[in-house]
Amino acid sequence: MAEAAHAMNDLTPIRWTGDALEVLDQRELPWRETWIPCASPEEVARTIRDMAVRGAPAIGITAAYGMALALRGPGGPGKLREAAEAAARTLAATRPTAVNLAWAIDRMLRVVVSSLSGGRDAATIRRRAEAEATAIHEEDVAMNKRLGRHGAELLPHECTVLTHCNAGALATGGYGTALGVIRAAVEAGKDVRVLADETRPYLQGARLTAWELARDGIPVSVICDSMAGSILRTGEVQAVIVGADRIAANGDTANKVGTYPLAVLAARHNVPFYVAAPSSTLDRCTARGEDIPIEERSAEEVHVVAGTRMTPPGVPARHPAFDVTPAELISAVVTEDGVFRAPYVFDRRCGER
Ligand code: MRU
């Protein structure tokens, strides 16, 4: 295995400088590492909407810092509530499927509201909000490391793992979920090779998963999405591991479009199909997969690849950005609290996360 050029846990797509937020522009990877400075919730919302930052946990963390930035303006406590609520609306509207977004925004709003009802001054509220956003970021990395260790135990000593999209450090505060399991297995001395689905139309697998695993010296090969079936049939793959944008109370899981067909193929070939996600991705208020909103993105993203139009003029395209894998196809859900198997019952009191 190639020597890792960096520590396995040093990559984060989001930097809070104490004054401002900087977001790694993932649209530019693997060609260039460009950081986008954000000074307002509107700028933060744009980085999320336009996919500069993506991945459910990373979106949530970025939005939390966006909420903190919203409180920077002039005015006393009364103004802060208005500013926080306006920012919450703007940020929540950016991407509908990833539940971590609403989860992080709610958490930030609760800090503002409870500080206001406790009679705190504006400076204290701003400080508390920044501390909360930083805590959301740091807790995410800690959850990923814990879930990574649980998931690593599911993998044989030598194995090939197939993954879809990017559920790595780039999609989270750091370390990753599906890729966190792989990192933890490698750290535990296991010999893991990865097959990364390229993941049309945004190519998160080809561009991002391949980039961050190669950076860590973890062996990775990119495959076209349509190659997964015949490769699974050969018996070469011991596990499929993906992340999640939202896990309903019954275990049905929304993730990047193409995850569901992969789960069907894994079941057909008796390969275990694991979902790795922090508890902030569990949506206990949504009973089943059918109730998860699926983001429909612009058809242009399907028509145009790397600046070149691939389809004839006048022919429409479709772009549902996520699909739902029914719980019956999921061998286990791995969170920081352990490994859960069917029947999945993530239905504690709604609102308690
Ligand atoms: O559209 P994206 O790139 O935000 O989609 C990301 C995914 O589907 C990831 O698998 C998911 O958010 C889990 S990230 C740990």
Report yes or no on whether pTM surpasses 0.75.
yes
113 C-alpha vs ligand 1 centroid, how far in Å?
30
Residue 245 DSSP symbol: S
* Residue 256 Cβ < 6 Å to ligand 1: yes
5 C-alpha vs ligand 1 centroid, how far in Å?
25
Percent of the chain at pLDDT exceeding 90 = 92
Residue 324: closest CA among 247, 266, 241: 247
The vertex-70 CA angle with 65 and 71, nearest 5°, equals 105
Question: pLDDT at position 99, please?
Answer: 97
218 C-alpha vs ligand 1 centroid, how far in Å?
20
Question: pLDDT at position 76, please?
Answer: 84
Residue 269: closest CA among 157, 162, 190: 162
Whole-number average pLDDT of the chain: 95
Which of 166, 211, 298 to mutate to test ligand 1, by most ligand atoms within 8 A of the CB atom?
A: 166
Rounded to the nearest 10 degrees, how much is the dihedral formed by the CA atoms of 144, 150, 153, 154? Answer: -90
What number does the ligand 1 atom closest to the CA of 56 have? 12
- For 50, the token pair is 């336009």
Question: pLDDT at position 280, please?
Answer: 96
- SS3 for 168? coil
Question: pLDDT at position 10, please?
Answer: 85
* Residue 148 Cβ < 6 Å to ligand 1: no
Question: Of residues 25, 140, 216, 245, which has the active-site annotation?
Answer: 245
Instruction: Give whole-number Cα distances, 155 to 39, 45, 191, 218, 258, in Å.
Output: 43, 38, 10, 15, 23
Q: Are 67 and 80 in contact (CB under 8 A)?
A: no
Question: pLDDT at position 140, please?
Answer: 98
Instruction: Give whole-number Cα distances, 223 to 168, 233, 280, in Å.
Output: 17, 15, 30
130 C-alpha vs ligand 1 centroid, how far in Å?
25
Mean pLDDT of 186-200: 98
Task: Please list, residue by residue across 323-340, b when 16 or more beta carbons sit within 10 angstroms of its beta carbon and e when fewer do.
Answer: bbbbbebbbbbbbbeebb
Q: Are 245 and 56 in contact (CB under 8 A)?
A: yes
321 C-alpha vs ligand 1 centroid, how far in Å?
10
* Residue 164 Cβ < 6 Å to ligand 1: no
252 catalytic, yes or no? no
What number does the ligand 1 atom closest to the CA of 100 have? 12
- DSSP per-residue string spanning 63-130: HHHHHHHHTTSSS-HHHHHHHHHHHHHHHHTS-SS-HHHHHHHHHHHHHHHHHHHTT--HHHHHHHHH
Percent of the chain at pLDDT exceeding 70 = 96
pLDDT in tens, 8-38: 668 999 999 988 999 999 999 999 999 999 9
Q: Are 61 and 110 in contact (CB under 8 A)?
A: no
* Residue 173 Cβ < 6 Å to ligand 1: no
Per-residue confidence band for 352, with pLDDT thresholds at 50, 70 and 90: low
Distance CA 118, CA 10 (A): 38
Which of 204, 209, 212, 297 to mutate to test ligand 1, by most ligand atoms within 8 A of the CB atom?
A: 204
* Residue 97 Cβ < 6 Å to ligand 1: no
The vertex-119 CA angle with 113 and 123, nearest 5°, equals 80
Between 75 and 210, the higher pLDDT residue: 210
pLDDT in tens, 318-331: 999 999 999 999 99
What number does the ligand 1 atom closest to the CA of 178 have? 15
- For the chain, give the number of residues: 353
Distance CA 209, CA 94 (A): 23
* Residue 201 Cβ < 6 Å to ligand 1: no
pLDDT in tens, 111-167: 999 999 999 999 999 999 999 999 999 999 999 999 999 999 999 999 999 999 999
pLDDT beyond 80 at 2: no
54 C-alpha vs ligand 1 centroid, how far in Å?
6
